[in-house]
Chains A and B, each alone.
Chain A
Amino acid sequence: MDAALSANAYLSTLVASLGLALVFGGLVRLASMLFPVERDRRILEIDDLLPQTQCGQCGHPGCRPYAEAIADGQAINRCPPGGQATIDALALLLKVTAPNLDPEHGLESSHIRVAFIREDECIGCTKCILACPVDAIVGAAKLMHTVIVDECTGCDLCVEPCPVDCIDMVPLARPSHDWRGPPAALLAQLIGSDRDPVQRQQEVL
């Protein structure tokens, strides 16, 4: 064997190269197994862009699992709560062209919705509490439950388990002092102050 190798330079080079390739390939694999930093960071970046509704409409039990799936190559257009804005942001991050939202997973809604329990109808079965992914429902067995509005992500998961159908998804109204003016596209004119066109022309000249 040795003789054959030393005799044939061509063969020896081939074997050496293959050997090196195997060794370094193995090292790279080992490193990626020992220090899986890159993928984890990517998952965190993706998770940061997802709306954290935890609704499961993408087919995963929460936003983080979907982020993991995206990191492993799944389609980025399965998040209806995030809508096109999230898809665009994900596309920018992953350097791919932004697809449209996959309607199979749901449609984008313009309203923010939160769950609301009609409290006098609630029988206290705790089924919604178990279904809530963010622990936003308080209550105990045989006692009335209610939703903490500030914590509700509007994921809809509590509506279906309710045996008496006392949970509604209601649009969330913004308080008036949060109001910051119409969107730039629908602008009315600024108060013109007290100048007339002639005077203004003089100013400009």
Chain B
Amino acid sequence: MNRVWDTPGGIHPPANKRQSLTLPIGYPKLPERLVVPLIQHIGEHCIACVTIGQQVLKGELIGVVDGALGTSVHAPSSGIVSAIEARPVGHQSGSLAPCIEILTDGLERWVSRPKTRDYRQLAPSQLLERIAQSGICGLGGAGFPTATKLTFNGAVPISTIIINATECEPYVTADESLMRERADEIIAGIGIIALLYDNTPRLVIGIEETKPEACAALLAASHASAIEIVQIPSKYPSGGERQLIYTLTGKEVPSGRIPASIGILCINVATTYAIKRAIIDGEPLISRVVTVTGKACGTQRNYQTLIGTPVQHLLDHSGLDDSRLSKLIMGGPMIGFDLPYASVPVVKTSYCILAPDASELAPTAPERACIRCGFCAEVCPVSLLPQQLLWHAKTADHQRLEEHNLFDCIECGACAYVCPSHIPLVQYYRASKGEIDAARADKANARQARQRFEFHQLRLARLEREKNQRRKARRAAAGSNPSPSSRIKAPKASIMRLSSADIIAAAQGRTTEKKPTAEQTLNKLRRNVSTLQMRLEHAERRLAAAAGETADKQNSLRATAEDARQKLHRGEQRLTEQYH
């Protein structure tokens, strides 16, 4: 039996998981439209690589990664791309994000799926390439691109890989149903991850002891492998990455660092399933298990849902009773958020749609003053001082907030859950984190602007200096070898103080200076003659062409031609004079 460490704090809210586990994972009918956001992960937006009106197959690549961090998106079903535009997505801000809309054709035609039975023959780099191309990101909620996570190579080699199968949040059973029904595929996925490391790291599945069926299924599937399955006491939030790592290994991830910095990797159980599907079955990540639960739903169960399925479609499929619905929440009751519209799509990180009625979700009481009971500090899994943080958040004292390690808060909501004064503590912390981030960004921007301004000033000064140097050089050159122009120009600066005679002399000087050389005059006259010749030819042509015109017109053209001829004659005379 493995030793298990106890994390500080934690709460025991009613689990409410049974209701959605009575039925096996279901398959909702295909929605007419799928809306696939181009950002479902941590990192940069994908770039759409399809055009409107284009026919796409199920599993076809439709969005590619642009930038270092991100993961691609694929068409969840076959059909026609009907729109590429900003749509509302499941985000607390209710803001828009670029999405690709696909009108499904109901045929579910797949792209070619390269099945790989002998994946053990593949090199780690090939496996990673496949994982990256399959658009897999962490399915536990954060959505960190999995290929990037698996390639992380720090100073400490990865010695332990933890599979997070705790699913500690009330109501959510997506991972549990997956473990009950597809344990062998999960174990195969873990086997693939182990292939990526040469040093055979320890493989541990951390699962809450309240999931005996899932645990039994995993045990049965993994009896021939080196995977350890460790049951941990049920507590919220035991499934937080850092909490689970501590529970299983007794090691704490340092503040502000990632688990890989102490040689540990933590991967959600649903992600390992997606990895198995990607490598062995050749299927990119186009669907996930989503729990649809809450008393307002007719049927509460888990669905294998295509990414991009509108939440409304899932709710309709579950027989939602709109009149009983008190609130629509994406995610679990603790860290989920209100959905502004039911039209938003299911994305890779949506593990639960919660549609509770009023009896399940008590109307939130108004916030009252903090009475310093200290319950929040007792339940904080990170051992922070929530009430101190609240004071400083209310007074926007950013320095104190950072001193009290606000950024170590995992926003689990345990403090707000126990607060007898109904203070929405997490909301305060989230807002303060945002303000501090904004202030940091402003500071960074200001620093950059200052640098650019200083460089700008430097550049102007340099240009000025160079101009002065050139001027000085010119002046020096003029001083040693005075040319006529400099002699004339010199007095120009002090022209106000000159007498009228001087001004006349200067003007005459300028005209003499401007007098062209014989060579220049000759050239000018030559140019003049050739122009006049052309003009004469032109006039003669027009006269010839005007044979059928009126006499007046012909006369006028004849006069023009004659004029041109005389001018040419004079020009030629001047040219010959200049020659002599």
B149 within 8 Å of A (CB atoms): no
Chain A CB within 10 A, most for which of B89, B362, B396, B437? B362
Residues of B within 8 A of A63 (CB): 450, 453
B482 close to chain A: CB less than 8 A: no
Given A190-B413, A191-B333: A196 and B434 within 8 A (CB)?
no
Decide: B448 and A190 in contact? CB cutoff 8 A. Answer: no
B427 at interface by CB-CB < 8 Å: yes
Q: How far is the CA of A135 from the CA of B364 in the complex (A)?
A: 52
Count of CB-CB pairs between chains A and B under 8 Å = 136
**In this assembly, does B356 line the interface, its C-beta being within 8 Å of a C-beta of chain A?**
yes
CA distance A193 to B427 in the complex (A): 14
Pick from A10-18, A29-37, A51-59, A102-110 the stretch touching chain B: A51-59
CA–CA, A52 and B457, complex, Å: 14
Neighbour of B434 across the interface among A133, A180, A197, CB < 8 A = A180
Q: Which residues of B contact A151 (CB under 8 A)?
A: 448-449, 452
A138 vs chain B, min Cβ distance (A): 13
Quick one: closest A residue to B86, CB to CB? A176
Asked whether B427 lies within 8 Å of A187 as measured between CB atoms, the reply is yes
B446 and A190 contact, CB distance less than 8 A: no
Does B420 interact with chain A (Cβ within 8 Å)?
A: yes
Q: Is the CB of A180 within 8 A of B97?
A: no
Tell me if B334 and A193 are in contact (CB < 8 A): yes
0/1 per residue, A142-168, Cβ < 8 Å to B?
000000000101000000000000000
Contacting B at CB under 8 A, from A111-133, are 132-133
Instruction: List residues of A (41-86) whose CB comes within 8 Å of B's CBs.
Output: 47, 50-54, 62-64
Q: How far is the CB of A190 from chain B (nearest CB, A)?
A: 4
Given contacts A135-B452, A179-B95, contact A197 B365 (CB under 8 A): yes
Bitwise interface map of B from 77 to 98 toward A, beta carbon under 8 Å scored 1, else 0: 0000000000001011101110
Q: Does A95 belong to the interface (CB within 8 Å)?
A: no
Cβ-neighbour of B427 out of A51, A135, A188 (below 8 A) = A188
A183 to B394 alpha-carbon distance, docked (Å)? 10
B92 in contact with A179 (CB, 8 Å): yes
Residues of chain A contacted by B450 (CB below 8 angstroms) = 47, 52, 63-64
Partner of B456, one of A135, A182, A188: A135
Range of interface residues on A (Cβ < 8 Å): 35 or more
A3 at the interface (CB under 8 A from B): no
Residues of A within 8 A of B56 (CB): none
B93 touches A191 (CB 8 A): no
Q: Give the docked Cα–Cα distance between A114 and B429 (Å).
A: 30
Give A188 to B364 CA distance when docked, in angstroms.
10
Q: Which of A54, A132, A176, A191 contacts B97 (CB 8 A)?
A: A176
Q: In the complex, are the beta carbons of A52 and B446 less than 8 A apart?
A: yes
Contact B431 A176 (CB under 8 A): no
- A62 x B92 contact (CB < 8 A): no
Task: Give the docked Cα–Cα distance between A107 and B363 (Å).
Answer: 43
* Complex alpha-carbon distance, A183 and B417, angstroms: 21
Q: Verify B338–A187 contact, CB threshold 8 A.
A: no
Residue from B14, B95, B329, B364 within 8 A of A176 (CB atoms) = B95
Smallest beta-carbon distance A200→chain B, Å: 8
Closest to B438 in A: A180
Write out the residue numbers on chain B whose beta carbons fall within 8 Å of the beta carbon of A188: 338, 424, 427
Interchain residue pairs A-B with the least CB separation, the first 4? A180-B434, A176-B95, A189-B364, A190-B424
Q: Measuring CB to CB, which residues of chain A are less than 8 angstroms from any residue of chain B?
A: 47, 50-54, 62-64, 132-136, 151, 153, 176-177, 179-184, 187-197, 200, 203-204
13 residue pairs from A and B, CB less than 8 Å apart: A134-B449, A176-B91, A176-B97, A179-B91, A179-B92, A181-B92, A183-B431, A189-B424, A192-B363, A193-B361, A194-B171, A194-B356, A194-B362
